[in-house]
Amino acid sequence: MDENKPDIIYYSQDNSKKPKKKNFLSYFIVAIVAAIIGGIVTSYIAPNYLYGKILPVPAIYTQGKNGTNTAQKINITPNSNVSSVTAVAEKTISSVVGITTVEIQNDMFWQREVEGVGSGIIVDSNGYILTNSHVIGDGNAKKITVLFEDGTKKSGKVLWYDTALDLAIVKVDATGLNAAELGDSNNLEIGQLAVAIGNPLGLDFQRSVTSGIISGLHRTIQVDEYNVIEDLIQTDAAINSGNSGGPLLNEKGQVIGINTAKIQTAEGLGFSIPINVAKPIIEQVIKDGSYKIVYMGITGVEVEKYEAQLGVNLNVDKGVIILEIDPSSPAKKAGLENGDVLTKIDNQEVENMSQLKKILYKYNKGDKASLNIIRNGKSMNVDIVFTVLK
C-alpha cells in the first residue's frame, strides 16, 4: 500500500431491498377519522365534560339555563340611519319645491334674461314657501315659478326677503299644501343625523336626498365683500348648486335649517341657516303679509373701511362709525351723535351695518337695549328703546 495515498473506504449500496410505495388512501382515511373524532370532542365532549371540570371554560362559551355550556351569541345591530333617512324623505319630500326664476341682467350695451334654479320648503298649507334670498335674485327676479312634487307649476310672488339673512318668503295661490314640520335649531348637537333635500344640479335631479351629520354649529362664512353670515349650521350632507333654499332635516323629519351655501374648494362643507332665525319672520308674514324689524335710525360704515377711505386712525379695533342720524328716530332719542362708534348691542359685537341689521331681528317693538359706544376716545353705555318698525 502506498503510504502517500490516503485511505479510501468504499461503501457498497444494498439494492436487494426496494422502497415500499406509499399508500395515500390510508392517509386519507386516517385524516377523515381524526376530523370526526375532533369534531365530537370540540362540540360535545369538551363543552359538557371537560370545560369547567378539567379544562378552563373558554370565553366563547357561557353557562346555559340548564347548567350546560352553550356557545355565546354575538349580536350585530345594524345602523338605523338608513331607515331613518328613508322615513325622513317619505315624510318631507312632498313639501320640497323647485323654484325657477328669470332675472334681467344689464350688460354694457343691452339687457338679457338669466334663468336660475333653486329649492324651497312649504311652511304653511296656504302657499307660503321659505327659500333663500339669492334664489329669487334678491328681489330682482322678473318671473318666479314654483314646481310641486305632483308636477304642477304655479306663479310665485315675493312677500319678503333680506339679503343679509339670505332668506325670502314666496307666496303661491294654493291651499291644502303639505307643509313641513319646523324643528328647534337651538337644541342641535354635533354628530346628529342631518338630511338635505333639494335640486342639486337643476331640475333634472329634483328632490335629491343626501344625508350626513351636523358637523359644526355657530359657523361664520364670508359671502361677499360686505356680507358675513353668522351662526350657521355646518353639515357634511352633500349640498350643491341648486340645493339652496331647500331644507336641512333632523331624524324626526323636522326642518332645522335652510341650506344656503357650499364652499366650492372643499368637500363635505355645507351650511344652513338655523330655522329659529326664520320662525318669527314666517309667523309675521303669514299674519300681516310682510315683516318689519325694529328701526334704529342711523347710517354708518365699518371702522376699518372709514379709516382706509379717509386715511385716519380712530384708535378703535372694530365697530360702526355713525355718519348720519334720523332726527325722529330711537337713536336720536337715545342721545347718539354723529362720529360715535357703535361697538356692541347688549354685549353682541357690531362690526358692520349688515351685522347690525341681523342683530336687530332679535328685538321686538318696545324692547330696550344697551348700546356700547366710543365717543371722543371714551367708552360709554347708552340705553335705547325700539319704538319704530320699518
Collapse the DSSP code of 231 into the 3-class scheme (helix H, G, I; strand E, B; otherwise coil) and give the result: strand
Domain of 246, CATH number, reads: 2.40.10.10
190 lies in the same domain as 284:
yes
Do 318 and 347 lie in one domain? The reply is yes
Answer yes or no: is 28 within a domain: yes
pLDDT tens, position by position, 267-312: 778 999 999 999 999 999 999 998 999 999 999 999 999 988 888 8
- For residues 222 and 145, which has the higher predicted lDDT (pLDDT)? 145
Percentage with pLDDT > 90 across the chain = 55
Residue 5 included in any domain: no
Domain end: 172, 194, 219, which one?
172
Q: Is residue 312 part of a domain?
A: yes
Does a structural domain hold residue 54? yes
- Same domain for 43 and 129, yes or no, is no
| Total of domains in the chain | 4
177 lies in a domain? Answer: no
Residues 194 and 275 in one domain: yes
Same domain, yes or no: 189 and 283? yes
Domain, as residue range, for 260: 185-288
The half-sphere exposure of 216 on its side-chain side, counting CA atoms within 13 A, is: 13
Residue 35 is assigned to a structural domain of this protein: yes
Same domain, 227 and 167: no
Considering the domain architecture, whether residues 262 and 191 belong to the same structural domain is answered as yes
Q: How far is CA 374 from CA 298, 307, 321, in A?
A: 15, 15, 9
- How far apart CA 97 and CA 118 sit, in angstroms, is 9
Q: Please indicate, yes or no, if residue 76 is contained in any of the structural domains.
A: no
Domain boundary residue, one of 254, 288, 322: 288
Indicate which residues carry an active-site annotation.
Answer: 134, 166, 244
Which one of 260, 288, 316 terminates a domain?
288
- Whether 7 is in a domain gets the answer no
Q: 369: Cβ–Cβ under 8 A, 6 or more apart, which residues? A: 345, 346, 363, 383, 384, 386
**Dist CA 257 CA 246 (whole Å):** 9
Q: How far apart are CA 220 and CA 382, in angstroms?
A: 28
Q: Are residues 259 and 354 in the same domain?
A: no
Instruction: Say if residue 34's pLDDT is above 80.
Output: no
Indicate whether 281 and 209 sit together in one domain.
yes
pLDDT band at 266 (very low <50, low <70, confident <90, very high): low
Render pLDDT for 58-97 as a digit per residue (tens, 0 to 9): 544 444 444 444 444 444 444 555 578 999 999 999 999 9
Do 191 and 274 have their domain in common?
Answer: yes
